[in-house]
Each structure stands twice: as C-alpha cells, then as structure tokens.
Structure 1
C-alpha cells in the first residue's frame, strides 16, 4: 500500500500530477489542485460500465468509441482531472492512444452513482463537466429500478433531456442510441 505521508500536501499542477507514482490500488482524481481518492467500484458498477460501453458502441457509428475510466483534464488552473465511469470520444482520438483526454475531446461523460459519490456526481461533477464544456452528461443510478438521467449542454448549462427507467432512446453526438437499463446489471 502507498505511504500516505509521501503524497503531496499542496495544490497540484499538471507536472506535479504527472510526477506522482502510479498506483493501481488507488482511484485518484484532482479537484482544484487537491488530490481526491474515490472508492473502487463494486461488481455491479463494473458490469454496468462494461455493458454501457458495449451498448453505446453497438449503436454508434464506428467514428465514435466508448471507453471506461479514462483520465479527463477539465481545467489546468486550478488543476481538475476527473475519471468518468464512461465516456464517448472520436475513434481517431482513441486510436491515437492518448494518456489523457481533454473535456473538449468528449461527446459524453457518464457517472454511475455509488455509495460515497452520489452528491459528488449530482452536484460537483455536474457543474465541473458543464463548466468544461462536455456536451452531454448522464447519471446512472443502479438502485432498483435502474434510472438514467440525461443532460445536454445548452448555452453553458445542462438541461434535462430524459429521466428514464426500462428502455430509453437518446442521441449521442447526434446519433440515436437505445439502452435497456435493466440489462446493464442483470446476468
């Protein structure tokens, strides 16, 4: 386990972040220069991530790719780096294999609510993604019934476009997608 005393105790810059040792046991983000640790996702959360990426890629043209848990630079000053549960970006960019993505690279960011992240996902990340210009933001709540709340950025603010259970039809980057929300966790 990483020695907590060796971690920085100051507001991080991008070079500071890049100099930190990699640690696969921790899920780290940076919020306004401050290092933040998030809980590792449980099994159903992981299953929903994987299945959501697969469902998005099945419906979207091959010019778009879904990914899960990639680093996204939202702001350099003060440094804010988040790791959304799922994103959609252009396949050309994904194929270039970047170390991190910029908010401008995303067409969609998705957060799956978990214990300890509900307020952060609904309030803090909601405003951070809007401020950074992420065109679409979805919040997926796996508590029965599985619910998807979808927002689209309009004039710098997110507007609600759907709150659904069961099957939902939406668009991502102008392309239709259909999701069976219950199938995201059901074996």
Structure 2
C-alpha cells in the first residue's frame, strides 16, 4: 500500500525555490534541469557514505575536506541542475570552510556509491555531467557483495579508467595519498 505523497511542484524549480524546500534527511533530493528528483537512502548506503567520508577526512591536509551529501551546483542557469554526490573531496575556500554548497571548480574528486535506485544516474548521467563540469576524479563504489571501487580520471574533457580496486588500497587525488579500507565501509560490527 502506498503512503500519501506530499504535493509535488507543478513547474520547473529555480535555485531559490530549491533552497526554500524543507530539509529531508530520509531521502536524497537533487534538482535536474529544474525537476525535483527524490531517491531513498538505504541504511547500508548511508553507512558507506559516512565511513568513506571519515576515512578520507583523516588523510586530507588542511584546506582540503571530505564532505558527505552536500550540494554541487552543476548549472545555475534556468532551469538549474544541482546534484548531491555521496562524498566530495573539496579544496580552496570550500575545503577550509566545510561549505554546504560548492561549485565544480572547488571539487577535486566526486564519489558516488551505486545503489539499486542510482545505477543509471551514477554510471551515465553524473559521469557525463561531472566530466563536463571539469571535475578531475570520479569514483564509483559498488557495495553489493564485495565492495569494489572504479576510479576515473579526467583527460581531455572525458573520464578514462584509472583502475578497479577492492580491499585495502591507496589512491591519489592531486598528489594527495588516500589510504582506504573498502571492506570496512559496510562491515558489520561484532559485539564486544
């Protein structure tokens, strides 16, 4: 049985209207060409997001930050596109201030954790959008079964594969070594 759905916008939203929407931590909301897009956030997905951000944050120098679930303005023109990547590695003023909304020029790496409701968006749409916006690194994490990370690096305006990884790995973003334990992103904790 479906629950009652709140009233949906009947027009393309502006960035100002998007900003005025009430907070909702239960869903991932993005604005794509002015259209509100909403997806659930499964618990395993959320766990991986926060653990990944924590692992990255420990390895980053001052002025660079790993930020989870913040707004990335892809296109401010009407109708606007605003994505909410799972994790961003940001530098400059955005990294120093732990901003809540960033521009592509602030982003060193965008990381998406693929889930059943985001496969096509993460692997096709965001892949194209982030490359077009000039984001230097794009990582796709698949947490179904053994955790796997596919890394891409921007070259001549397109992403090219930079490797597929599992287990413990050290990746590099703009000269910064980032040690990761991919299995720990979704591992269950055992009682003490």
Q: TM-score, normalised by structure 2?
A: 0.87
Other-structure match for 1:12: 13
8 Å Cα contact 1:62-1:91 kept in structure 2: no
Other-structure match for 1:75: 75
C-alpha distance in 2, partners of 1:10/1:22?
20
8 Å Cα contact 1:65-1:91 kept in structure 2: no
Structure 1 stretches of at least 4 aligned residues deviating more than 6 Å after TM superposition? none
Shift in Å, 1:159? 0.9
Q: How many residues were matched structurally? A: 185
Q: Secondary structure at the match of 1:37?
A: strand
Cα RMSD over matched residues? 2.0
8 Å Cα contact 2:62-2:96 kept in structure 1: no
Other-structure match for 2:23: 22
C-alpha distance in 2, partners of 1:22/1:51?
22
C-alpha distance in 2, partners of 1:55/1:142?
16
1:52 aligns with 2:52: yes
Between 1:138-147 and 1:25-34, the stretch displaced more is 25-34
Q: TM-score, normalised by structure 1?
A: 0.89
Matches within 5 A, 1:35-184: 35-42=36-43, 44-77=44-77, 78-90=79-91, 92-184=93-185
Q: Secondary structure at the match of 1:4?
A: coil
Closer, same or farther: CA 91–184 of 1 in aligned 2, 3 Å: farther
Closer, same or farther: CA 99–145 of 1 in aligned 2, 3 Å: closer
Runs of 5+ consecutive residues of structure 1 not aligned to the other structure: none
Closer, same or farther: CA 2–135 of 1 in aligned 2, 3 Å: farther
Q: Deviations over 1:97-143 (max 9, x none)?
A: 53411121111111111121111111111111111111111000012
8 Å Cα contact 2:63-2:95 kept in structure 1: no
C-alpha distance in 1, partners of 2:82/2:49?
19
Q: Secondary structure at the match of 2:55?
A: helix
Q: Deviations over 1:43-84 (max 9, x none)?
A: x22221122112212222223111110011111123111111
